[in-house]
């Protein structure tokens, strides 16, 4: 039984005062209205209307059912109206995640401009370098760099980035420019305590290979590692977006370009493809057009 339709039917009968008038108001037939009412009364096990050949009136149970039905129908109408308004002017909570430095440098300005344009959307931007579970952590949209391991996510490509090895001009002047990744074995390399760790991956003759780099500095985040390279303490391996500003100002120099791995994609990801709230659809579209990640090389 379509209970929503049944509620609408009995409310219409009560409002119109007859089965015939209710059928006309609903754009239905009299037999259909009679069947719906009879089926509902059988389902509930009570009589909702007292019916004679001249008039129809609500029973006590019928009045209770009508009062409750009116409240539910009004609530449903309010929900639909809110969703319709949201489609015109999006509102509500929107939670987004991205890697820390990428979020600080590129996504946060895009999010800020989005909120300036759509002030009824309440955005929570979470920046961390771990891989968040969007579903379990109730996150609407994420930025992922590299191949996607979770095939259940919907992904929209935004751009791509390179993994580059860099050093300061001063360091290169004192220690020389490497011509092959194996030259890094005798160099000081600024490393990360997670991720690639003590091995950096390169590409040669269509095959990847690893170089076990060493050095006297290790960090668990990008910013201090980048600063160490800027002041001339060694080579560092970073995503191209992380060093784009310093390359543009000649504070760092890329080396071993011909041995780089293929560029990695940056994707906008979200858990579901259908029935997305308007605010999520609008934000996804906004990011694709507003986000600007500089290319190098």
Q: Is the pLDDT of residue 125 over 90?
A: yes
- Average pLDDT estimate for 27-34: 91
In Å, what is the CA distance from 150 to each residue of 134, 154, 182, 262?
Answer: 10, 9, 34, 21
Are 223 and 79 members of one domain?
Answer: no
Cβ count within 10 A of residue 130: 9
* Tens of pLDDT, residues 215-227: 999 998 889 999 9
pLDDT at position 282 over 70 = yes
Q: Is residue 297 a part of any domain in this protein?
A: no
238 and 279 housed in the same domain: no
pLDDT > 80? residue 295:
no
Domain boundary among 55, 88, 121: 88
Q: Can you read off the two tokens belonging to residue 146? A: 């590299």
Residues 9 and 141 in one domain: no
Do 76 and 13 fall within a single domain? yes
Same domain, yes or no: 63 and 97 = no
The residue range of the domain holding 80 is 3-88
Last-in-domain residue among 88, 116, 133: 88
State the chain's mean pLDDT as an integer.
89
Confidence (pTM): 0.65
Q: Which run of H or E residues covers position 86?
A: helix 60-88
- The pLDDT score that the predictor gives to residue 87 is 59
Same domain (yes/no): 117, 172: no
Q: Say if residues 252 and 246 touch (Cβ distance below 8 Å).
A: yes
Provide the pLDDT for residue 79. Answer: 72
Any domain includes 296? no
In a domain, 224, yes or no: yes
Q: Which of 62, 88, 114 is the last residue of a domain?
A: 88
When pLDDT is cut at 50, 70 and 90, the band that residue 273 belongs to is low
Structure tokens at 48: 């909702």
- Is residue 47 assigned to a domain? yes
For the cut 60, the answer to whether the pLDDT of residue 73 exceeds it is: yes
Query: Number of structural domains, the chain?
Result: 3
- Nearest CA among 134, 162, 128 for reference residue 148: 134
User: Which CATH number does the domain housing residue 177 bear?
Assistant: 3.40.190.290
Per-residue pLDDT tens over the stretch 155-210: 999 999 999 999 999 999 999 999 999 999 999 999 988 765 689 999 998 899 99
């Amino acid at each position: 039984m379509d209970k929503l339709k049944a509620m609408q039917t009995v409310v219409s009968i009560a409002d119109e005062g007859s089965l015939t008038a209710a059928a006309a108001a609903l754009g239905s037939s009299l037999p259909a209205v009679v069947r719906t009412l009879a089926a509902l009364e059988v389902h509930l096990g009570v009589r909702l209307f007292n019916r004679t050949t001249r008039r129809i009136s609500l029973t006590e149970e019928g009045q209770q059912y009508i009062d409750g039905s009116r409240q539910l129908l009004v609530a449903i109408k309010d929900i639909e109206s809110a969703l319709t308004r949201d489609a015109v002017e999006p509102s509500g909570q929107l939670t987004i995640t991205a890697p820390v430095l990428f979020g600080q440098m590129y996504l946060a300005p895009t999010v800020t401009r989005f909120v300036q344009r759509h002030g009824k959307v309440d955005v929570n931007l979470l920046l961390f370098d771990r891989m968040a579970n969007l579903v379990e952590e109730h996150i609407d949209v994420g930025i992922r760099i590299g191949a996607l391991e979770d095939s259940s996510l919907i992904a929209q490509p935004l751009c791509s980035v390179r993994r580059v090895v860099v050093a300061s001009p001063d360091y290169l002047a004192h220690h020389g420019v490497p011509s092959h990744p194996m030259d890094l074995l005798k160099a000081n390399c600024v490393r990360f305590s997670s991720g690639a760790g003590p091995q950096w991956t390169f590409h040669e003759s269509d095959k990847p290979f690893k170089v076990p780099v060493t050095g006297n500095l290790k960090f668990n985040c990008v910013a201090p590692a980048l600063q160490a390279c800027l002041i001339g303490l060694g080579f560092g391996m970073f995503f191209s977006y992380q060093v784009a500003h310093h390359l543009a100002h000649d504070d760092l120099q890329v080396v071993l370009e011909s041995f780089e791995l293929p560029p990695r994609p940056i994707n906008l990801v979200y858990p579901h493809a259908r029935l997305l709230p308007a605010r999520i659809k609008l934000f996804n579209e906004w990011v694709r057009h507003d986000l600007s990640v500089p290319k190098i090389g």
